[in-house]
Amino acid sequence: MIAVITGDIINSQHADTEVWITKLKNLLDKWGSAPETWEIYRGDEFQFKCNIDDVFWHFLAIKSLIKSQENLDVRIAIGIGEESFSSEKITESNGSAYVNSGRLLNDLKSDGDTVSIKTSNDPIDRDLNILLKWASKDFDNWTMATAEIIHEMIMNQDYTQEDLAKKFTISQSSISQRLKRANYELIVETNHYFKKKISEL
């Protein structure tokens, strides 16, 4: 089984494309090579495949990166399933993971949510989607400053608050306050729960 993330940038027409697309490409490039593992297409849509254990953390890394750009957000559809055909281009690969993710993104555009998951197991989908809806009440309201801090913590899990304070040239207490406001410890717990539920598939 694999995970496929299909997403699109919200408000992309009101932002400097070169800035966000360069940052997104650099992030996705850390996880695999284009166009086999990831691809950006139709201007502001993208697709990326990864290990199922990493998908929640990767979703958060993308979300926090995009939210750290002014006026931008991202819609993300997570599909879990099989890969029945692997092409040199991810957008030409196929299987239930791709179908689940692609169809789900269309649903997200119509229902107004910013993240959802589709697997072959309806009870697990129900549990995880309720969790994602609650979590998104926080994620969707991150400020640019909060998103920046969360992104650094996700990408550099060995960082201390002191490391972050030096990087952002603010006090350690300010870093601590931002992490508390962002419920970072709860985010880590949610990641563990997400992995546990997906391991039941």
For residues 31 and 46, give the distance between their C-alpha atoms in angstroms, rounded to a whole number. Answer: 14
CA quadruple 54, 59, 19, 9: dihedral sign: positive
pLDDT of res. 127: 95
Question: Domain map of the chain by residue range?
Answer: 2-199
State yes or no: pLDDT of 21 exceeds 90: yes
pLDDT of res. 14: 87
Q: What is the CATH number of domain 2-199?
A: 3.30.70.270
Confidence of residue 157 (pLDDT cuts 50, 70, 90): confident
pLDDT of res. 201: 87
Q: Quote the mean pLDDT of the chain.
A: 94
Predicted confidence (pLDDT) per residue in 61-83, tens digit: 999 999 999 999 999 999 999 99
pLDDT of res. 156: 93
pLDDT over 90 percentage in the chain: 90
